[in-house]
A and B are shown apart, each in its own frame.
Chain A
Amino acid sequence: DAGVIQSPRHEVTEMGQEVTLRCKPISGHNSLFWYRQTMMRGLELLIYFNNNVPIDDSGMPEDRFSAKMPNASFSTLKIQPSEPRDSAVYFCASSRSGDGTGELFFGEGSRLTVL
Chain B
Amino acid sequence: GNSVTQMEGPVTLSEEAFLTINCTYTATGYPSLFWYVQYPGEGLQLLLKATKADDKGSNKGFEATYRKETTSFHLEKGSVQVSDSAVYFCALLRAAGNKLTFGGGTRVLVKP
Contact = CB atoms under 8 A, between A and B. Distances in A.
Nearest to B42: A108
Nearest to A50: B98
Interface string A65-92: 0000000000000000000000000010
Interface of A is mostly: strand
A38 B32 CA distance: 26
Given A31-B98, A97-B98, A102 B34 contact: yes
Given A4-B43, A95-B98, A100-B51, 18 more contacts: A33-B99, A42-B102, A43-B89, A43-B105, A48-B98, A48-B99, A91-B43, A91-B44, A102-B49, A102-B100, A103-B46, A104-B44, A104-B100, A105-B45, A106-B43, A106-B45, A107-B43, A108-B43
Nearest to B34: A102
Interface of A: 4, 31, 33, 42-43, 45, 48, 50, 55-56, 91, 93, 95, 97-98, 100-109
Interface string B32-56: 1010100001111110010100000
Interface of B: 32, 34, 36, 41-46, 49, 51, 89, 93, 98-100, 102, 104-105
Given A42-B104, A43-B89, A102-B93, A109 B43 contact: yes
Contacts of A91: 43-44
Nearest to A109: B43
Nearest to A91: B43
B41 to A, nearest CB: 8
Contacts of A33: 99
B32 A102 contact: yes
